[in-house]
Amino acid sequence: MAVVTISRQLGSGGDWIARRLAEETGYLLLDRPKLLFLLSEKVRNPGRVHLLEERAPAFLEHLQRARSKLDELAELALRELASRHDLIIVGRGGQVLYADLPGALHVRIVAPLPERVARLMADQGLSAEEARARIEKSDRDRAAFLRTRFGVEADDPSLYHLIVNTGRVPPEAAVRLLVQLLEALPREAEAIPVESIPSSSPGRAAEPGGAVSASAAPTTTTKPNPPTAMEAAARAVAARAARGLAGPPVLPWPHQTILGKDGKPVFAHPSEAEFARVLDFYGVRWEYEPVTFSLAWTEDGRVLEAFTPDFYLPDIQLFVELTTMKQSLVTKKNHKVRRLRELYPDLSIKVFYSRDYRMLLRKFGQDSPAPGPVPGPSGMAATSASA
């Protein structure tokens, strides 16, 4: 699908141009106030991320990793969206992210400083001094973002196909120009496969923090590259954005799984270890506690409540939460799952209640065949029924 990236100086009219262009073309506009993944910068302060990290082994190092992972998730969401929709992306390094994308058009909107100050004063009722200070800060922040994240300078003209100076070209004329330009450019007929989109994210296979169990079952045929939990989360974020819903200010972030000496995750509960063994047995790949979703937050992006589903099964793109605990905790978990479904209606999550789990074990003959205590996970021998 077509992608237009708009990089703009504060006060250049770039945001207005992007909005008008979206109206004229029907492209999906991804601007900062509307879309949650653009707001992931709100948790740039890693001090906020750690609040919900239940286990953080190497504290500072982990926080730094979590911070860059957030950016990666935002980028994943952008790529996912671009594979399905015509997009106008404002800021966020789109000109670099989609630098090599066939059909992408990279536009930079600039204006002389006096014009920018005047526009900001008129739009936001600021004094000249306030406007100038805000512009300086914005220029600094945006330049720093592009430099640290992508190693480029925002003002490098080679990043863009078109640079419009609204000091001379009125914004409305810029919109007309862009509409004509888009009509004149050859259109990509086919949807862009996600794989062909330039990626700076890590591979799909096992990665730290998302231990993917590689199925050893040779007879299982699975899709070659099913989406990882992070990618599934990004898709859910993208789907929410595509519905035009304003999002939570904090993106899902990768949970740090603790690995044991054998390289396998350390499970929080024996039932989780047993569940993983059942999945292994049937060649169903899984990730353990791969992603944390924010469920409640303050206005400034501080996370108040979060949820980390126990498992993600990439082959069936399903999150699974096991609840084998007491009822009071089940109620709390039910609330969290409900909230997660509200936030991300396109995310598949299944709750496995204590009862389901017990029946699963019974199905596999892992319960007690005779009066007496129920044995542990490695207990019983007899099995029969199918699952």
Partner 1 sequence: MRAPGPILISQEQLAVRNQELGAQISADYDRTTPVLISVLRGALYFLADLTREISIPIHLDLLAISRYGEVSDTTGIVKITKDLDINITGRDVLVVEDIIDTGLTLSYLLNYLERRRPKSLYVCTLLDNRARRLVDLPIRYTGFQIPDKFVVGYGLDWHEEYRHLPYIAVLEDGPGQLR
Q: Which chain residues interact with partner 1 by CB under 8 A?
A: 216-217, 219-222, 277-284, 313, 316, 318, 320, 350, 352, 355-356, 358-360, 362-369, 371-372, 374, 380-387
Residue showing tokens 């237009």 = 4
Residue number, 158 or 378, with CB nearest to partner 1: 378
> Partners of 351 in the beta sheet?
321
Q: Which residues are CB-neighbours of 14 under 8 A, at least 6 positions away?
A: 6, 7, 8, 90, 109, 166
Residue number, 203 or 372, with CB nearest to partner 1: 372
Q: Using CA atoms, how far apart are residues 238 and 245, in angstroms rounded to an integer?
A: 10
Q: What is the smallest separation between the CB atom of 320 and partner 1, expressed in angstroms?
A: 7
Q: What is the smallest separation between the CB atom of 358 and partner 1, expressed in angstroms?
A: 7
Residue number, 63 or 217, with CB nearest to partner 1: 217
With beta carbons less than 8 A apart as the criterion, state whether 209 and 255 touch: yes
Residue number, 221 or 328, with CB nearest to partner 1: 221
In this structure, are strands 349-353 and 318-323 parallel, antiparallel, or unpaired? parallel
Nearest to 7 by CA among 97, 123, 70, 134: 97
Q: What is the smallest separation between the CB atom of 265 and partner 1, expressed in angstroms?
A: 16
Residue number, 158 or 221, with CB nearest to partner 1: 221
Nearest to 155 by CA among 13, 9, 32, 41: 9
- Please, what's the b/e burial string for 24-53 (b: 16 or more CB within 10 A of its CB; e: otherwise)? ebebbbbbeebbbbbbbbbbeeeebbeebb
Q: What is the smallest separation between the CB atom of 276 and partner 1, expressed in angstroms?
A: 11
Classify residue 195 by its DSSP letter. Answer: G
Return the SS3 of 148: helix
Residue number, 47 or 369, with CB nearest to partner 1: 369
Q: What is the smallest separation between the CB atom of 316 and partner 1, expressed in angstroms?
A: 5
Residue showing tokens 């789907």 = 239
Residue number, 189 or 387, with CB nearest to partner 1: 387
Q: What is the smallest separation between the CB atom of 379 and partner 1, expressed in angstroms?
A: 8
Neighbours of 332 (CB within 10 A): 13
Q: What is the smallest separation between the CB atom of 239 and partner 1, expressed in angstroms?
A: 19
Q: What is the smallest separation between the CB atom of 350 and partner 1, expressed in angstroms?
A: 7
Residue number, 328 or 383, with CB nearest to partner 1: 383
Tokens representing 346? 């396109």
